[in-house]
Amino acid sequence: MDAVTSSHALSGINILKSNASKFRHDSSVHACGIRHGSSSTSERAFQKLKLQNNTSVGGKRSSSTAVWTHPLSPISDIEEDKVGVLVLNLGGPETLNDVQPFLYNLFADPDIIRLPRLFRFLQRPLAQVISTVRAPKSKQGYASIGGGSPLRKITDEQADALKIALQGKGVAANVYVAMRYWHPFTEEAVEQIKRDGITKLVVLPLYPQFSISTTGSSIRLLQRLFREDKILSTLPVAIIQSWYQRQGYLNSMADLIQKELQSFASPHHVMIFFSAHGVPVTYVRDAGDPYKDQMEECVGLIMQQLKGRGVHNQHKLAYQSRVGPVEWLKPYTDEVLVELGQKGVKSLLAVPVSFVSEHIETLEEIDMEYKELALKSGVENWGRVPALGCTSTFIADLADAVIEALPSATAITATATSTTRINFAQDPLGFAVKMLLGSVLAFLLLLFPGLKNQNWGDPGQKLFHNNYALFHKRG
């Protein structure tokens, strides 16, 4: 990587070296290869970002794409603007040496490890300790898939493909990649947008379904960056929060599933097994995260597409990547695989429904861990649908979503009050004690896993569970 230093240092982010040319995708185009092993979060602050089927948040929403905007701003023609598209993703370590600093950035995020203001000075030291403890195990996973995450390369290729698709539809746009916890960082991409003089921006998360832990976290960061900048605070922005209902996405998923089914000797007897990334139940129950509802609806819509093509296979949805003693969304992928094998299911096609790019949770967790578990449990024929990557119909539909969102772009001016701030203001001492207790207990469990069987009493139990789950978020 060529060393081009970010123009400013950012609190909580481990800024290393980066290549500014990677932010803007306006030159070379890559063939987006698809490879796999086989065929803070703040809580109620994000409730206003939650999008159900017939709701809008602060502005407008199309029938097939959830777009968050601020109302009552003038609309200008696309042709008169210098258009930018900001593609959001999580990011991942590109080499084994990147694993620890990547984890540091993750845990240094106040939305991941939530400390009260009184103890914010512990944020970075705590992140340093936790990332150091977690790095060896995470390195093993990345070593098994070639020594690093392919997420940046694939996301760059998707951005290039999106730029070309927009050009084909008559919209000239610069497409930028913004990773939450690794290069190119969101802050760096935003600086490039300023330098390029973008006059209208569409934010496109590469997460089909909305969750406060993915899209919500990135939007929260963008809101802060834009509100604090004199230029960016007046930039018209449209944020596409979810797009799992779009016909192009559903058709693309159905195409891939239908194609992979043909690799089985008896396609009609194959169980279609949707595996989605899980989140702690508290996100849904206490914070109002729409992720579970959107995921279930998404799977139903995909199966509806398949049935319209004469594919009537049985299907199952489960949630993967749970960690720690805290309850996550059920049913769990590993438990369901064992159950299906015991019930006599012999052929199974895994579908990574919440991922549009290959990364450690498809290449290692699904292709290696879950495949091995399924075969040991009695499944004889295993297949896996590849992530969408740069599938032409998928990219074309994303381009359509961007174009549809452009007219509703308005300046980000509203401020959000987080639950953390409210709780701190109401009872600063009690809240500080609870949060610190939860964080300390979570950290102790990292060092002494056997403690998880102890019966922790309130008020520490809930905070302990939440923080423990976040500490163990997969790198």
pLDDT tens column, 253-287: 999 999 999 999 999 999 999 999 999 898 899 88
pLDDT at 334: 97
Q: How far apart are the first and last CA of the chain?
A: 21
55-59, 66-70, 345-349: least confidently modelled range: 55-59
CATH number of the domain encompassing residue 236: 3.40.50.1400
Instruction: Identify whether 284 is part of a domain.
Output: yes
Distance, C-alpha 279 to centroid of its chain: 11
Q: Which helix (H) or strand (E) holds 177?
A: strand 173-179
State yes or no: pLDDT of 21 exceeds 60. Answer: no
Domain co-membership, 405 together with 448:
no
Domain co-membership, 205 together with 327:
no
Domain co-membership, 83 together with 141:
yes
Domain co-membership, 407 together with 448:
no
Report which of residues 462 and 369 the model is more confident about.
369
Distances (CA, A) of 42 to 47, 87, 255: 10, 22, 37
pLDDT at 123: 86
Its sign, for the CA torsion 446, 452, 456, 461, is positive
pLDDT at 241: 96
- pLDDT-derived band at 322, boundaries 50, 70, 90: confident
Mean pLDDT of 113-132: 83
Instruction: Identify whether 238 is part of a domain.
Output: yes
Report which of residues 152 and 440 the model is more confident about.
152
pLDDT at 34: 38
State yes or no: pLDDT of 26 exceeds 80. Answer: no
pLDDT at 475: 44
Instruction: Identify whether 422 is part of a domain.
Output: no
Amino acid at 90: L
Domain co-membership, 183 together with 91:
yes
Its sign, for the CA torsion 361, 397, 242, 112, is positive
- pLDDT-derived band at 220, boundaries 50, 70, 90: very high
**What is the Cα–Cα distance from 40 to 45, expressed in whole angstroms?**
10
Q: Which helix (H) or strand (E) holds 319?
A: strand 315-320
**What is the Cα–Cα distance from 445 to 463, expressed in whole angstroms?**
13
pLDDT at 240: 98
Domain count, the chain: 3
> What pTM was computed for the model?
0.76
Among 21-35, 251-265, 279-293, 423-437, the range with the most confident prediction by mean pLDDT is: 251-265
413 backbone dihedrals φ, ψ, rounded to 5°? -130, -20
**What is the Cα–Cα distance from 69 to 241, expressed in whole angstroms?**
10
Instruction: Identify whether 14 is part of a domain.
Output: no
80-89, 114-123, 220-229, 357-366: least confidently modelled range: 114-123
- The domain in which residue 59 lies consists of 20-245+392-411
Instruction: Identify whether 332 is part of a domain.
Output: yes
Domain co-membership, 401 together with 303:
no
Mean pLDDT of 227-249: 96
Domain co-membership, 83 together with 217:
yes
